[in-house]
Amino acid sequence: MTNVEWRLMSGWSDKEVLERLARASTLPLNFEVQEKDMTPDNGWSQVESQALIGCDPPGPPKEGDAFHKLKEAVARMGFSDPRIVHGHFNDAMPLLGRPMMLELRPLVGLRYLCPVRVRAVRSEVDDKRTVYGFSIDTLQGHVEAGREWFLLSKDHRTGELRFHIRAAWREGQFPNWWSHVGFELVGRRYQRAWHHLAHQRLRELLRGGYLEQHPDAQALQEANLRVGRLPVQFASQRGLSRRLLGVEHEVERDQRGNGWNTLGLGVLAGMRGFSAPALLGFHFSREPQAAPSGNLGLLASPLVSRALAVLTAGEVVADKTPWIPARISPPALVGRALSGALVGAALAPRRPLTPVHAVLGAAAAVASSFTFYALRRFMTRRLGVPNVVAGLAEDAVAAALGGKLFAALR
């Protein structure tokens, strides 16, 4: 029997949490290894993730800028999604040495209360960057053993703000055999989800203005956020004792519907040729960290975004005139296919997939061109609908699709 606390269908009252926080101040660590020895060769698993959160003007941080707002959010664990890990602690205590009770919620109704303590606080400034963060150590009564760092940094040259999570861990104590089996089955999935959501929550806290009023820890963790799907770098390597020798490394957009977005923008390109790149350019201009590298990154330029918006407006007007050639004529069809290929390539989550997404976007644009051309002819020739009215109806469908796609891209 271990002293790991768990409950089913209920949590812990405020009084119970305070009692456990008081005990956690003096609890011993559940490991005795130095950080330099926490390597895969010694049986320790490594997990690491980082992402671009936002941007400040170049140079060292200044009072009131995004870095300082994020610094408060990091210290109060605003990055932790309470659906997976909810942190209980006294926000008034100094960060260094602060005990915390982490309430793990791996499944609906099942909860584990695990003690940790802030071991170190890092605050460094040099010519190139500023770094702030802290590390936590697990204590007796935790289902895992190890150390985890949470670091916020600013690049003085570019102004980029990045959040970095790095952990070395191995199995700790489990209250029963089925908890052990359950963590083996679903623990990896929840760990990965929590890492992704941590970065996305910080982005949304900053973007949505939640940090302007300096909310307390409880308000930060319980903020109802609509997280986005921007890139997150995630890497893990499990210890040799876990029978996995290689390193799993991914650089992904974390876009669950990335292929569907490519198809949707391809369909939009078949309806209105400039509308798809205009929509994507507007999205990238608002979220430059989501823009691809290389020439495709020009879509994030405000100038290019405005130019595409003007071209789209002109296309919408010209579409109602009689002298515009049919969209399935060779020049028009090639143009729409190229438009679909452009947005597909820009949405590719990794460089090797760029040709695949380009072909997917182009194919969707060509199919959409023929489909909506046939529908337009049916409305005007069979049903007698005036061309202008039919065009406006198609504009409404394109606008609705564009709105759905823009929401999905965020």
Q: Of 111, 100, 103, which is closest to residue 86 (Cα–Cα)?
A: 103
- Hey, where are the domains in the chain? 5-251, 258-409
Tens digit of each residue's pLDDT (9 = 90 or more) over 282-297 = 888 877 767 777 788 8
Q: Which residue has the higher pLDDT, 51 or 247?
A: 51
- Residue 2 confidence (pLDDT) above 90: no
Tens digit of each residue's pLDDT (9 = 90 or more) over 353-383 = 688 889 999 999 999 999 999 999 999 998 9
Mean local confidence (pLDDT), 399-407: 86
What is the per-residue burial (b if ≥16 Cβ within 10 Å, else e) of 133-150?
Answer: bbbbbbbbbbbbbbbbbb
Residues in contact with 196: Cβ distance below 8 Å, sequence separation at least 6, in sequence order: 49, 232, 234, 254
Q: In which band, very low, low, confident or very high, does the pLDDT at 148 lie, cut at 50, 70 and 90?
A: very high
Do 299 and 291 touch, CB atoms closer than 8 A? yes
Strand partners of residue 87 = 102
Strand partners of residue 117 = 99, 137
User: Lowest-confidence range among 46-55, 77-86, 128-137, 297-306?
Assistant: 297-306
Tens digit of each residue's pLDDT (9 = 90 or more) over 82-129 = 989 999 999 999 999 999 999 999 877 889 999 999 999 999 999 999
Tens digit of each residue's pLDDT (9 = 90 or more) over 256-289 = 446 788 899 999 999 999 999 999 988 888 777 6
Q: Of 160, 162, 152, which is closest to residue 77 (Cα–Cα)?
A: 152
Tens digit of each residue's pLDDT (9 = 90 or more) over 382-402 = 899 999 999 999 999 999 998
pLDDT of residue 1: 40
For 140, 144, 215, 231, the CA distances from 205, given in Å and listed in that order, are: 33, 29, 11, 16
Q: Of 50, 115, 103, 52, which is closest to residue 218 (Cα–Cα)?
A: 103
**CATH code for 5-251?**
3.30.530.20
Triad 226, 250, 290: Cα angle to 5°: 45
Tell me the HSE value of 106 on the side-chain side, using a 13 A CA sphere. Answer: 20
What pTM was estimated for this model as a whole?
0.63
Do 364 and 372 touch, CB atoms closer than 8 A? no
